[in-house]
Amino acid sequence: MNPHSIDFVDLRRQKQRLGDDLDLAIKRVMEHGNYIMGPEVLDLEQQLSGFCGVRHTLSSSNGTDALLLILMAMNVRAGDAVFCPSFTFAATAEMVALLGATPVFVDIQTHSFNMDPDSLEAAVVTARQHGLRPAGVIPVDLFGLPAEYDLLEPVCSAHRMWMLCDAAQSFGAEFHGRRVGSIGLVSATSFFPAKPLGCYGDGGAIFTNDDDLASTIKSIRVHGQGSDKYDNVRIGINGRLDTLQAAILIEKFRIFPDEIRQRNVIAARYSEKLGEIVQVPVVPPDVTSAWAQYTIRISGGRRDAVARNLKSKGIPTAVYYPKPLHQQAAYREFPIAGNGAPVSEVAASDVLSLPVHPYLTADEQDYVIESLVHELRTN
Ligand SMILES: *Cc1c(COP(=O)(O)O)cnc(C)c1O
């Protein structure tokens, strides 16, 4: 096999599989011409609501705007503490800070890379010491694995905080029989091309069972509109998903359950063949991952050398994330739970994500596994 054909995310093979249906879907939009809020947008929202088992799906311009729309609708403002894991993509904390509220960084669990409930308790104390009002929590389902909601929910209730799930990486996953999207007060996801369900540009969605919250978000999504387009009852943004992206997502959504199955097959195979020699991801009982990433840990400062050598053999890997948010220049001033976030710092130096897209062939995967085993034995 030609190792140079391995892509970290292979959208070309997915496009081949989608075939003419995708081209026809795009053509239909070009013909009806309703590029903004065309019929495909509502159709997609209804399909996603059915899939997640929620009353409302509101598509959005991207995952970051999904978070912003939700936080605006909940009137998050200066003086509010919003708890975010430090080991995540910046957007999680960024929208909190943008609204003038304070992201308070929480450490992660070693085994899951997700928010540590004990660190969250410590962070609530830290926030109060800073004179902030604990308002809400944004757990992130990092790499596609749902956070430990059964432990996080009681902490939220005890302190009367809302929970907004950042499900940007976990659409399609389940936690104790609940689909991602139906957990917490409200959830946000992303359809960025490389996410488990991606479009061909920017896109995102919000899921909730709360009727009032949904109607406020709907208004904010179109400049705070009231009874019609030129009635503005609040400050909003332009946060809509394009009709073309909705049409593309409808086609991709047809094959999505099969793609998630395929990601699980590939992840299981990695774990079986690598579990003895390197630290592989742990999925707890009664939880499934969407496998946005398959992330191993290579400790002892060897990670970057292993990644470099794999790259020279045509094997793409990625480091999500090389620096936790509490150490980033833009976020250094914000409070950190208790005595800091040491687990996030170790993770940043150890993590390495391997190709896990649904179109990775068994031969390609064997080549990745053999090369990695060789690196780990000789490095
Ligand atoms: C991708 C991502 C986002 C933002 O989504 P965009 O669509 O890129 O704006 C937010 N949070 C997390 C955890 C993400 O991975």
So what's the pLDDT on residue 53?
97
Task: State how far the Cα of 304 lies from the Cα of 375, in Å rounded to an integer.
Answer: 11
Per-residue confidence in pLDDT tens, the chain, 379 aa:
555 679 999 999 999 999 999 999 999 999 999 999 999 999 999 999 999 999 999 999 999 999 999 999 999 999 999 999 999 999 999 999 999 999 999 999 999 999 999 999 999 999 999 999 999 999 999 999 999 999 999 999 999 999 999 999 999 999 999 999 999 999 999 999 999 999 999 999 999 999 999 999 999 999 999 988 889 999 999 999 999 999 999 999 999 999 999 999 999 999 999 999 999 999 999 999 999 999 999 998 999 999 999 999 999 999 999 999 999 999 999 999 998 999 999 999 999 999 999 999 999 999 999 999 999 998 7
Mutate to test the pocket of ligand 1, among 192, 200, 240, 249 (most ligand atoms within 8 A of CB): 192
Task: State how far the Cα of 134 lies from the Cα of 81, in Å rounded to an integer.
Answer: 5
3-state secondary structure of 164: strand
So what's the pLDDT on residue 5?
77
Query: CA 248 → CA 17, 62, 202, 251, distances in Å?
Result: 13, 15, 12, 5
The 10 Å CB-count burial string (b at 16+, else e) for 89-112 is bebbbbbbbebebbbbbbbbbeeb
So what's the pLDDT on residue 228?
85
Ligand 1 residue neighbourhood (C-beta within 6 Å): 62-64, 88-89, 91-92, 140, 166, 168-169, 190, 192, 202, 204
In terms of Cα–Cα distance, which of 260, 252, 281, 213 is closest to 57? 213
The Å distance, Cα 132 to ligand 1 centre, comes to 26
Task: Spell out the residues 6+ positions from residue 378 whose beta carbon is closer than 8 angstroms to its own.
Answer: none
So what's the pLDDT on residue 339?
83
Q: Quick check: pTM over 0.85?
A: yes
Backbone angles phi, psi at 204, to 5 degrees: -165, 180
Bond preceding residue 331 cis, omega within 30 of 0: no
The Å distance, Cα 91 to ligand 1 centre, comes to 6
So what's the pLDDT on residue 1?
52
The Å distance, Cα 230 to ligand 1 centre, comes to 31
- Which residue has the least CA distance to atom 10 on ligand 1? 91
Task: Spell out the residues 6+ positions from residue 269 whose beta carbon is closer than 8 angstroms to its own.
Answer: 362, 365
So what's the pLDDT on residue 40?
98
The Å distance, Cα 88 to ligand 1 centre, comes to 9
- Specify the ligand 1 atom closest to the Cα of 64: 9
- Which residue has the least CA distance to atom 2 on ligand 1? 168
- Specify the ligand 1 atom closest to the Cα of 202: 7
Task: State how far the Cα of 179 lies from the Cα of 167, in Å rounded to an integer.
Answer: 11
The Å distance, Cα 333 to ligand 1 centre, comes to 22
3-state secondary structure of 345: helix
